[in-house]
């Protein structure tokens, strides 16, 4: 079971944040979800073991205003990268003595994005390897993936223990640079190509899309190695193998955002690759072209 005397706040209870909230609550923790619109049930639909939890404080609570919360030991920020600034009013109220902020976001710049808004609390980056879709307030579809990778930092073993008894597996990673680049490589293949084509993971059965994905990942892997990530020579082929392992009807988070009319996360993914490539004078023409297309799509009326 979790550590029930250490209250936890989840800022951004969308797909990933909602799943984390559900599993922390299932493990016996007191969880407050900080959201824009209230809901009275948290439902996680999955084929093997669907879960449904009533919102009933103090075990599971919903807050819609920063004025409704107080400092807690742990804050999980699961907002999309482009929405990081929206965490500031919540963190101003949630951070107190001894608070740690765990940033569960895509990309390689989690700490840099959130530290300006964290009210002085330490920010520990984390990655979620899950196929989960938010289909409505408090309603999720979890198609697979139960891994959360957290940078190994002082005190984080206590955070991992909070999940004992839930379905998510939390791993403390001493080489978070490599782990974050590996996740980024998968993201810069799956997210842009599903979004630009409007198709789900089955799109990777198309030979032309596979070739483009390999090119994107090879450019990014070169930038990652220059940044200190320990990436294999065949990292691109491994990424495609991982993509093949997802259910064909699974979508990417960026595709879900496009279909819902929400802003896209392209700058935190493909943009981060280009910034790293520029730092090391490495060419990345495929990623540059994809970023231009995503930016145009994001800005379309």
Catalytic residues: 183
The continuous run of DSSP H or E covering 45 comes out as strand 41-45
CB-CB contact of 144 with 131 (8 Å)? yes
CB-CB contact of 17 with 11 (8 Å)? yes
Q: SS3 of 179, please? A: helix
- Residue 282 tokens, joined: 């490495």
Q: Which residues contact 110 (CB under 8 A, 6 or more apart)?
A: 81, 103, 123, 125, 126, 180
Q: SS3 of 97, please? A: coil
Put residue 194 in one of left, alpha, beta given phi > 0 → left and psi -120 to 50 → alpha. Answer: alpha
């Amino acid at each position: 079971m979790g550590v029930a005397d250490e209250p936890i706040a989840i800022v951004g209870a969308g797909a990933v944040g909602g799943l984390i909230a559900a599993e922390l609550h299932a493990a016996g923790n007191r969880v407050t979800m900080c959201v824009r619109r209230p809901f009275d049930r948290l439902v996680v639909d999955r084929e093997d073991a669907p879960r449904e939890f009533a919102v009933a404080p103090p075990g599971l609570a919903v807050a819609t205003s920063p004025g409704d919360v107080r400092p807690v030991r742990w804050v999980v920020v699961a907002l999309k990268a482009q929405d990081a600034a929206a965490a500031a009013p919540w963190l101003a109220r949630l951070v107190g003595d001894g608070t740690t902020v765990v940033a569960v976001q895509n990309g390689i710049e989690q700490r840099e994005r959130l530290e300006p808004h964290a009210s002085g609390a330490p920010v520990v980056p984390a990655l979620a390897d899950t196929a989960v879709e938010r289909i409505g307030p408090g309603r999720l579809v979890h198609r697979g993936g139960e891994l959360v990778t957290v940078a190994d930092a002082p005190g984080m073993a206590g955070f991992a223990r909070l999940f004992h008894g839930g379905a998510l597996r939390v791993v403390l990673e001493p080489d978070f640079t490599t782990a974050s680049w590996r996740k980024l490589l998968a993201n810069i293949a799956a997210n842009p190509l599903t979004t630009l084509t409007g198709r789900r993971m089955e799109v990777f059965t198309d030979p032309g899309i596979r070739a483009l994905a390999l090119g994107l990942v090879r450019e990014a892997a070169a930038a990652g190695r220059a940044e200190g990530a320990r990436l294999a020579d065949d990292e691109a082929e491994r990424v495609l193998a991982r993509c093949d392992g997802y259910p064909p009807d699974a979508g990417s988070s960026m595709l879900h955002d496009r279909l819902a009319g929400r802003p896209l996360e392209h700058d935190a993914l493909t943009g981060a690759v280009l910034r790293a490539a520029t730092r090391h004078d490495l060419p990345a023409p495929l990623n540059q072209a994809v970023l231009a297309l995503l930016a145009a799509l994001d800005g379309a009326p």
